[in-house]
Structure formats: C-alpha cells, structure tokens
Structure 1
Amino acid sequence: MSDTNQPDNNICQERNFQQFFNKNATLLRNYLYYKFGDLNEVDDLVQDAFIKVWDNCSKVTKDSAKSYLFRIAINMSTSVLRHKTVKLKHQKEVISIQKDQTNESPEYLLQQKEFQEKLEKAIASLPDRQREVYLLNRIEQKTYKEIAELSGVSVKAIEKLISKALVKLRKEIENIR
C-alpha cells in the first residue's frame, strides 16, 4: 500500500496536482462530453471534480487519483442528469396542468396520458445505445451529424440506431395496447 505522505506520491503538493490536472483534464472533459453532450455543463463538472479531488487530496494517492477523479465526475454527472429528469417531469406536469385548463375532453386527456406512459415505458425498454441516440435526437434536438460526432461513429450508424429505435418503439407501443 502506498504512503500518501511520501512527496512523490502525494497529490496535495501543488506541483504534483498541477501535473495530475494537466494529464487528466482534457481526457476527463472529452469523456464527459462524449457521455453527456453539453459542453458548458461538462466544463463545470470537470472543474468541480478536480476541486473535490483537491479537497480530499490527503486521502488519495497519485496511483488512485485518476480513478477517484473519474468516479467523482461520473457521480456528479449522474446527479445532474437526475436533476434534469426531475425538471423535465415538472415541466411536463406544468404543461399537463395548462392543457387541463383548455377545453379538451377528459377522454382525450386520459388517452394522451396513457399514450405518454406507454411511450415512456417503450423508451425505457430500448437498449442503452439506441435509447441514448434516440433521446439525443428527439429530446436534445441534436442532428444525426452532431450525435455521430459525439459518439465517434458515422452518420449512417446513427441513422441505423435511430431507425432500429423507432421500429422497436412502434412495436412496443402496439404490443402495450
């Protein structure tokens, strides 16, 4: 087991932390950008992750710092995504309330709610990669080209994933009826 008090293994030393930062900042930024897409949020997450590593540097060796940094960043990203999900759900509820105040019939509103539930269930059943690409396109409004660049694959591969997702969604929704 490494001793965190040894100068060469201690990332609390400014020179060692600077080297650690220079070696891993771009790598972490690219990883988070590929995984989550929003460059402004990614830059904030990278900065916050390095701050947490610095705040806990006495507990981390140079050997374990990279995995610790990535774990922190992934956990923070997951929290941000959960928060976005809650916000999106809240926005849907507000829209639903606004629609309830219109003259739409209760039957129509019930059918709409049931369809929304079917759609959400069908999206959740998609394989991870198809779901990710589908949501980037439909929710984030990213083009196939932007998704291909984010994913590091061809536009044709994205088209195929979207096509498969749409076919699977159609089948899932029809089976749920």
Structure 2
Amino acid sequence: MDKAGNPLCEEVLGVIAYIGIGSNLGQPLEQCLEAIKCLSSVNAITLLRCSSLYRTEPIGLKNQPWFVNAVAEIRTSLSPRALLRILMQIEEAMGRVREAHWGPRIIDLDILLFGQEIVQEQDLKIPHPELHKRRFVLIPLSELASYAIHPAFGVSIRGLMERLEDDSRVERIEYG
C-alpha cells in the first residue's frame, strides 16, 4: 500500500484464453472482424490482442472457398463452459448453421487454450484437439503467444510449429 492506503498493484482476475476465429462464407474478413467486435463487447471478456488475419487453404473438405482465420487473446472471468456458451451465442447471432464437419461456415469460434486447463468433456475439449496439427491455427497463435505451453504436451507453440507436418497455405492479409 502507498501512503494514502491505496494498493500498489491491483489484483488481476480471470484467465488468459486464446480463441480461434474463422470464416469462408459471405464476406469472411468482415465477419471475422465482427466476431472480434462481438467478443470484446461481452462484459466478462477483455480483448487483449488479436493476431493478423490470414487467408488459409481449406483442410478436410478441399472443394470450398478459402478461409480467413485469426486468433484473439482474451482475459475472462468465465468458466470454460460459460465461454463456450458465449461463443456459440455469437456464432448463432451471426448466422452460423452447423452442417458438414470441416465444411463451409459463416463464422467459427473455438477455444484453443484456456490458461493451462485441460478439459475433456463430450462437447468441450481444451486444448482444442486439432490445434497442434493445423498451420492456420498455429501461425496466428504463434504470432501472439509463441512462448505459451500446450498443457497436454508440455511443448511451446513455437515448438509445435517446428514439428508441424501440415503444409497447407496460410497467407497474411494486408488490409486497411
């Protein structure tokens, strides 16, 4: 405490989480930016940083438009389950319809990392189970947190990038 009785350092509440953002229908770049705006408007979420936006080759179903992908770094006081509900509400409000696995989508929001928590539930898996296999996730995540450690593997994001076998194309988007 200082001489006036004020704390010298305020306690910071919440956990740092990383959210994957992707779209390949309609206007993908604008939809990713809108999703970031929606994330930052949630009371229990503070948007800390966002990666560059990337144009990415589809994985799985190749016969579809390329994606725009990014990663947002947030601080949240929500539980992983509550954060998932918020992400699904944002997707629904933006018009997401769940059809084909790895198929086209208006918006996709995924919890990639939630602090160092490991969650293995039927409909919620953290870290994201495909995170370490996907160039379109690791490049923007590495831009924000190359030092972060994957809680299940004990390897940094940079280390996962070095081991990556996915050679799909990921191109930074220059926009103003």
Q: TM-score scaled by structure 2?
A: 0.30
Higher strand share: 2
> Highest CA radius of gyration, 1 or 2?
1
